[in-house]
Chain A
Amino acid sequence: MKILVTLKRVVDYNVRVRVKSDGSGVETDGVKMSINPFDEIALEEALRIKERGEAEEVIVASIGGDEVQQQLRTGLAMGADRAIQVSADGDVQPLTAARTFLKLVEKEEPGIVFLGKQAIDDDANQTGQMLAALWDRPQATFASKVELADGKATVAREVDSGLETIEVDLPAVLTSDLRLNEPRFVKLPEIMKAKRKPLETLSLEDLGVERAGGIEAVSYEPPPQRGGGKVVESVDELVSELKSKGLL
């Protein structure tokens, strides 16, 4: 069985994100970029499945310009066997990403497509679900525990009320939640070896992907600065203040 893991290049979670002065997006020049942490967890889980002998190959894929090769190389250094870059300019919306991954699914025929539950840049939380729908296969999202047996995956999902355990037939789409595992450190020799592992570059056109255009980003702005607090004299004043702000 093959596992396809998708890796999105995002601003590192430690970086304080800043909006560009013209409001056209967030600043990424010279900013530390990393694999989306949820995707890294997905890759870690895929590697563990392979190390248990339950999968033969782990493929990492990313959509974007040549800069995404850096994240793919990190994925290879963590232990993935090969990488696919689907080159694309500009903003890639969840539906475009899902359509792209569907093409890769048709090409590679994996038993599991493992994604992060969402990317920490746009927090869309859509690509995995859309892919499952387009592919017409089961989905198990927000996974915090995954077990495989007899062509099925038993997945504990993190839901609002606690944990929900479901069973899905493979092939299926899985998306990882934060507590699924703790990703490994990259071993130094693997960083060098990753350079020699295969990295294939395709384009949206090669794959015949039609770009989705449903969402248009109009402008970006930082959250408003917090205003000063106010000391109230009595409970009554507090209640009336809250009411006047429509909070009560």
Chain B
Amino acid sequence: MPSYTGPVEDFRFLIHECLDLQECRDLPSLAGVDSDIIDAVLAEGARFCESVLQPLNAPGDEAGCRLEGDEVFTPEGFRDAYRTYTENGWPGLTSSPDYGGQGMPHFLGIAMSEMITAANTSWGMYPALAHGAWELIHLHGSDEQKRTWLPKMIAGEWTGTMNLTEPHCGTDLGLVRTRAERRDDGSYRISGTKIWISAGEHDLADNIVHLVLARTPDAPEGTKGLSLFIVPKFLVDDGGGIGERNGVRCAGLDHKMGIRASATCEMVYEDAVGYLIGEENKGLNLMFTMMNGARLGTGIQGLGLASVAYQNAVTFARERLQGRSLDGAKNPEKPADPIIVHPDVRRMLLTSKAFIEGARALAVHTALQLDIEYNHPDAERRERAGHWVALMTPIIKAYFTDMGFEVTSLSMQVHGGAGYIVDTGVEQYMRDARIARIYEGTNGIQALDLVGRKLTAANGETVKSFFTEVERLLGECADEPAMAEFTKPLAGAAERLKSTTAAVYQKMAGDPLEAGAASVDYLELFALTAMAWSWTTQARAALRALDAEGARSDFYRTKLDTARFFMARMLPETLGLEQKILAGGETLMALDESAF
């Protein structure tokens, strides 16, 4: 059976030694949050995930959810775990203190999300969707809506969902048919069918607050005619408690490859009472706030699953005795050497480790930018942070989930035949990780978002936000000779990314198909360069710490060695990507459809 230990030490390194928290002293989310509190939250969070969620992961996968009538029952233990989670205040970790939240910084939220996913991806879906829903209401709801829904949702008593997809429309939301009819009391009546609704129905919470995209009778065609509604499972009575049952029910549960303990529901709305958020026909933009948060969260799923799959691969590689090291026995008193002596096993483990820790640093830094974007007193600083978040959202979503899946596959490879056996438990990680490349906008859509929207956004300021950070880091390290082995490859990759960006920009001006042809490779090129930046910041912190006396030297030396591996054996992928991108889309489009 797999095991899991929350990477608290790595989080502490990233937060205390890599982030520039000085410039964030004035952020409300950091007021009173000193290093003791950060450490306590990380330690308690890890403890909850390791001891409560992880043991439910494999049994939950085996049992799945159960539909009886229109009620959904989650696997045994899920309810109790959810109760513990809410009783201990976790749903409100980063949410607004105005509505009962703890208002803590987003890097703690991201850390907790990673550990929850690693321990139990399916279980984590329920609070994650609830989080997205309250965030949307918090940003776009009226004061009355906030008062009605937020306190219960932030306390975790009620959860939430996002309802976009319909049987005939997934990526293209312009085709949404669900209807919303106005009533005299200001509410609406919602009718239609939504599919693939995560956490649409379950037994963890007293009420479920659905956020539903629907179309009013006179709305314009396409995405410009979508409005967003709050449609609760139970209406709220005058006292703010549970009232009448609303006209929404679960009509089916999907049987899936992975995340089997997450209820994926078909939801049928029949004259259900709904409350408009914002204005009519402006719904899609509002939904995108939830989508953006959800996209970051989905990227973190890739990271979390990679992390737990890697941990178990390391344990196996250390224990499995098989064959001898190519240069002679390392373990002569035993019948064979552990497989971790083999260069190829190390390649797999190091690729995993370098991805995980590089990605984690990028995620923690991006999470801090979220706090800056929302709350920094300096407008210019807020804007710059916003650009970074907008740029990194598709990169984190797509690259983290592609690599997350790859790492779960590497973990299976390290396990050999045992990895393919269900009872070993690592194949679940691979199945659970696969969906993350698809939902919340497929990774192809993320690449189009990067090339089509983010490249041109804000007159190029969005993209510039990355290069500015790279140049700043290179400038700060210019006088540190020990940093050259990291800054040189970073500078090279950044130059390559810059020239490729210019080339892509030029090509797509002439032919929009060129943007589509370049997009996926371009996103990976960008992601690898961002990882080089991330590893360089970590290498700098590690070198500084090693200079200080009495440091835990093993930890920092391992950081430097892993950074070297990344620069030497992962970053060079950018050369091939550059070549593929510059080759253009001609060969992709040459075949006639009938030739496939």
User: Contact at A185–B84, with CB atoms within 8 Å?
Assistant: yes
Q: Mark A213-248, 1 if CB is under 8 A from B, else 0.
A: 000000000000001100000000000000000000
- Asked if A187 contacts B89 (CB within 8 A), the reply is yes
Contact check, A189 vs B551: say whether CB atoms are below 8 A apart: no
Contacts of B37 in A (CB 8 A): 191-192, 195
Say whether, besides A29-B551, A31-B552, A32-B9, A186 and B333 are in contact (CB < 8 Å). Answer: no
The residues in B between 321 and 357 inclusive whose CB is less than 8 angstroms from any CB of A are 333-334
Do the beta carbons of A188 and B44 come within 8 Å of each other? yes
Q: How far is the CA of A30 from the CA of B559 in the complex (A)?
A: 14
Collect the chain A residues with CB atoms within 8 Å of residue B32's CB: 192, 195
- Residues facing B in A173-227 (CB within 8 A) are 185-192, 195, 227
Q: Is B40 an interface residue (CB 8 A)?
A: yes
Chain B residues positioned under 8 Å from A73 (CB to CB):
36, 40
CB contacts (< 8 Å) of B93 on chain A: these are: 188
The verdict on B566 contacting chain A, using a C-beta distance below 8 Å, is no
Are A187 and B552 closer than 8 Å at their CB atoms?
no
- In the complex, what residues of B have CB within 8 A of residue A195's CB? 32, 34, 36-37
Q: Given A74-B40, A228-B333, A186 and B88 touching (CB < 8 A)?
A: yes
| Residues in B neighbouring A188, C-beta threshold 8 A | 41, 44, 88-90, 92-93, 102
- Which residues of B (20-38) have their CB < 8 Å from a CB of A? 32, 34, 36-37
Cross-chain contact B87 with A30 (CB below 8 angstroms): no
Contact B41 A191 (CB under 8 A): yes
Q: List residues 6-57 of chain A with CB under 8 A from any CB of chain B.
A: 14, 27, 29-32, 34
**Minimum distance in angstroms from A85 CB to a CB of chain B:** 13
- How many Å lie between the Cα of A217 and that of B411 in the bound state? 44
Which residue of chain A is the closest to B35 with respect to CB atoms? A70
| Cβ of B48 under 8 Å from chain A | yes
CB of A5 within 8 A of chain B? no
Kindly identify, within residues 66 to 81 of chain A, every residue whose CB is under 8 Å from any CB belonging to chain B: 69-70, 73-74, 77
| Docked-complex contact B41 and A228, CB < 8 angstroms | no
> Size range of the interface on A?
20 to 34
Q: Judging by beta carbons under 8 Å apart, are A185 and B48 in contact?
A: yes
| Chief secondary structure at chain B's binding surface | helix
Contact A32 to B8, CB < 8 A, known contacts A186-B88, A189-B89, A227-B333: yes
Contacts of A29 in B (CB 8 A): 550-552
- Which of these, B9, B88, B334, B551, contacts A185 with CB under 8 Å? B88
- Would you call A186 and B40 a contact (CB within 8 A)? yes
Indicate if B5 sits at the interface (CB-CB under 8 A). Answer: yes
* CB-based nearest A residue for B332: A228
Inter-chain contact A70/B9, CB cutoff 8 Å: no
Q: Considering only CB atoms, which chain A residue lies closest to B90 in the complex? A: A188
In the complex, what residues of B have CB within 8 A of residue A34's CB?
A: 43
- B41, B43, B90, B552: the one contacting A30 at CB < 8 Å is B552
**Closest Cβ of chain B: how far from A19's Cβ, in Å?**
14
A187 touches which of B47, B88, B334 (Cβ 8 Å): B88
A121 to B37, CA, bound (A): 25
Q: How many residues on chain B are close to A (CB under 8 Å)?
A: 28
Chain A residues lying within 8 Å of B555, measured Cβ to Cβ, are 30
- Which residue of chain A has its CB nearest to the CB of B38? A191
Q: Taking CB as reference atom, which chain B residue is nearest A191? A: B40
The winner among B9, B34, B40 for most chain A CB atoms within 10 A is B40
**Docked CA distance A228–B331 (Å):** 10
Cβ of B397 to closest chain A Cβ, rounded Å: 27
CA distance A227 to B331 in the complex (A): 11
Q: How far is the CA of A29 from the CA of B548 in the complex (A)?
A: 12
Q: Measured between alpha carbons, how far is A190 from B87 in the docked complex, in Å?
A: 11
B 68-111 binary contact with A (CB < 8 Å = 1; else 0): 00000000000000001001111011000000001000000000
* Nearest-neighbor residue (CB-CB) of A229 within chain B: B333
**Cβ-defined contact, B551 with A30, below 8 A:** yes
When distances are taken between beta carbons in the complex, the residues of chain A under 8 Å from B34 are 195
B47–A185 CB distance below 8 A: yes
The interface residues of chain B lying within 8 Å CB-to-CB of A190 are: 89
List the B side residues contacting A227 at CB < 8 Å. Answer: 333
Of A32, A70, A77, A192, which is in contact with the most chain B CB atoms at under 10 Å from its CB? A192
Q: Which of chain B's residues have a CB closer than 8 A to the CB of A31?
A: 552
Tell me the smallest distance from the CB of B18 to a CB of chain A, in Å.
15
Residues in chain A near residue B551, CB distance under 8 A: 29-30
Report which residue of B9, B34, B44, B90 has the largest number of chain A beta carbons within 10 angstroms of its beta carbon. B44
Q: Mark B306-332, 1 if CB is under 8 A from A, else 0.
A: 000000000000000000000000000
Q: Which residue of B lies closest to A28 (CB)?
A: B552
B333, A185: Cβ atoms closer than 8 Å? no
B44 touches A191 (CB 8 A): yes
Tell me the minimal C-beta distance from A72 to chain B in angstroms: 10
Select which of B8, B36, B44 is within 8 A of A186 by beta carbon: B44
Q: Which residue of B lies closest to A227 (CB)?
A: B333
Task: Please give, as numbers and ranges, the residues of chain B lying within 8 Å of A192 by CB-CB distance.
Answer: 32, 37, 102
Q: In the complex, which residues of chain B have a beta carbon less than 8 angstroms from the beta carbon of A228?
A: 333-334
- The residue of chain B having its C-beta at the shortest distance from the C-beta of A188 within the complex is B89
B39 within 8 A of A: yes
- If A70-B36, A73-B40, A188-B89 are given as contacts, then 4 extra A-B residue pairs at C-beta distance below 8 Å, sorted by A number, are A34-B43, A74-B40, A187-B89, A192-B102
Q: List 25 A-B contacts (CB under 8 A).
A: A14-B5, A29-B550, A29-B551, A30-B9, A30-B555, A32-B8, A32-B9, A70-B36, A70-B39, A73-B40, A74-B40, A185-B48, A186-B88, A187-B87, A188-B90, A188-B93, A188-B102, A189-B89, A189-B102, A190-B89, A191-B40, A192-B37, A195-B36, A228-B333, A228-B334
The 3 closest A-B pairs by CB, nearest first: A30-B552, A188-B89, A228-B333
Residue ranges of B at the interface with A (Cβ–Cβ < 8 Å): 5, 8-9, 32, 34, 36-37, 39-41, 43-44, 47-48, 84, 87-90, 92-93, 102, 333-334, 550-552, 555
